Chains A and B, each alone.
Chain A
């Protein structure tokens, strides 16, 4: 592939992509302020303070290429004995490029039995998602996943 044409095409796709996005919702005049990797970091600090976060123990199941950014199935699983003494307290999920960095906070506890939650999320663009789990000993574990989001091909008129 020739890189010069590739970047031109990518620019074009970027414009066409935002044109398509503009059409799919009741006409956007401005692009909303998007989160950035920095705001995601700040949001993470807000929730978990300045404690150390290690990678491991958490698994993030999200399709690497989503069918539609409006509804992306996501499952977070934390490996844990799930006993009253050693369990998952909470799971926090963040993203990089949506207008807001938070996705959800899920509070489990000693009665959970399994440290796993599923939901469906919205992703505005191809980006990284980070899930952080707090265990009963207040240790923090995280995982990050890359998701590619494509836009719908044809725009829709407001019905």
Chain B
């Protein structure tokens, strides 16, 4: 069975086959239709999947499996530790230069906001973060490097945003900050920046293992109208492009990031929700346990890599 439309897009890489011309014409009239794949004789007609480059004519089965849904067993294996690369290495030098310079990195605007918020008194208890945590450059060192972490009271992992809000509720008697609000992004950026350069060291308590496993399952399973699992792109095709964008390895070591596409700062959950929308799968609310478990798994994937917050990404 010939591999399908993905090849036609990568015509520069592969010699065109005699099936090619018919196929391209068909695609251009049906690009808006999404068809669920039922078996090996049909193909998915979808704009996002269509834009994949093909691994090579010597691996048609991988392409088939990618598009068709295979037999349900993900052929993917996680990226070997010594092949892991930060998203930074996929960017052009001009974009890297924006991240490198603290005086030019727009993410620093949020970090500096966070620095003042750290000292603001809040809530019925009229306390600031500094009142308990003193100088963040000492006390917050290493914190972001081990988050998401287990919250003993809740008995489940929480991410940095949730930790800030738990602190607000429990110690400041203040209302939670909304997800993706400027204040919450500023505080998490400020806290995470204190770990910049430090190796990610996930919490290895036994209680977290089942949550990491759930996160891994989410990463591996195919879902949505495009029937894609995170692993299909980020483990199998990270060295390729989706349209004009590099795919990268899904190693979230610089969050919250200043994303050029957003022209603003944003959290890892915002990015995850974008991706989930991108594969046309059912999305989750901010703070949903599924998203926190996925964050937890992703950080364990990045174990040992240095924190880059505030990172800049396209």
Please determine whether chains A and B interact with each other in the same assembly.
Answer: yes
Q: Measuring CB to CB, which residues of chain B are less than 8 angstroms from any residue of chain A?
A: 8-9, 11-12, 16, 20-21, 24-25, 27-28, 31, 47-48, 50-51, 91-92, 94-95, 97-98, 180, 241-245, 260-263, 270, 273-275, 277-278, 283, 314
Which listed residue (A6, A15, A70, A150) contacts B244, Cβ 8 A?
Answer: A150
Q: Specify the chain B residue showing the minimal Cβ separation from A11.
A: B28
Whether the Cβ atoms of B51 and A5 lie closer than 8 Å is no
A53 at the interface (CB under 8 A from B): no
Q: Among the interface residues A11, A67, A70, A152, which one has the most CB atoms of the partner chain B within 10 A?
A: A67
Q: Are B242 and A153 interface neighbours, CB within 8 A?
A: yes
Nearest chain B CB to A15 CB, angstrom units: 7
Q: Which residues from B are CB-within-8-Å of A159?
A: 180, 270, 273
- How many Å from the CB of A59 to the closest CB on chain B? 16
Per-position binary interface string of chain A over residues 123-159, scored 1 when its CB falls under 8 Å from any chain B CB and 0 otherwise: 0000000000000000000000000001111111101
Which residues between 1 and 45 of chain A lie within 8 Å of chain B, taking CB atoms? 1-2, 4-6, 8-9, 11-12, 15-16, 19-20, 24
Beta-carbon contact of B283 and A154 below 8 Å = no
A113 interface contact, C-beta 8 A: no
How near does chain B come to A64, taking the closest CB pair, in angstroms? 10
Closest to B48 in A: A154
Given known A9-B28, A67-B92, A155-B278, contact A150–B243 (CB-CB < 8 A): yes
Known interface pairs A1-B11, A67-B314, A68-B261; A152-B245 also in contact (CB < 8 Å): yes
Q: Is the CB of B20 within 8 A of A5?
A: yes
Report how far A1 CA is from B11 CA in the complex, Å: 7
Tally of A interface residues using CB under 8 Å: 32
A138 to chain B, nearest CB (A): 33
Partner of A2, one of B21, B270, B283: B21
Q: Are A153 and B98 in contact (CB under 8 A)?
A: no
A40 to chain B, nearest CB (A): 24
- Please name 27 pairs of A and B residues whose Cβ atoms are closer than 8 Å in the assembled complex, sorted by A: A4-B21, A5-B8, A5-B11, A6-B11, A9-B11, A11-B28, A12-B27, A66-B94, A67-B91, A67-B92, A67-B95, A67-B260, A67-B314, A70-B263, A71-B260, A120-B98, A150-B243, A152-B243, A152-B261, A152-B314, A153-B51, A153-B278, A154-B275, A154-B277, A156-B274, A156-B277, A159-B273
A71 CA to B211 CA, complexed, in Å: 38
Those 4 A-B pairs whose CB atoms lie nearest each other, nearest first: A150-B244, A154-B278, A68-B260, A153-B242
Q: Which of A12, A63, A151 sits near B94, CB closer than 8 Å? A: A63
Tell me whether B283 and A151 are in contact (CB under 8 A): no
Residues of A within 8 A of B24 (CB): 5, 8-9
A157 B245 Cβ-Cβ under 8 A: no
Given contacts A12-B28, A63-B92, A153-B243, contact A70 B8 (CB under 8 A): no
Residues of A within 8 A of B273 (CB): 157, 159
Closest to B9 in A: A9
Q: What residues on A are CB-neighbors of B245 within 8 Å? A: 150, 152-153
**Does A104 have its Cβ within 8 Å of any Cβ on chain B?**
no
With CB as the reference atom, state the residue of chain A lying closest to B23: A5
Q: Which residue of A lies closest to B270 (CB)?
A: A159
Alpha-carbon separation in the docked complex, A70 to B313 (Å): 12
Q: A20 to chain B: which residues have CB within 8 Å?
A: 243
Q: A73-B98, A159-B273 are in contact. List 15 more A-B contacts (CB 8 A).
A: A5-B20, A9-B24, A9-B28, A11-B28, A12-B27, A19-B47, A24-B261, A67-B91, A67-B92, A70-B261, A150-B243, A151-B244, A153-B244, A154-B275, A154-B277
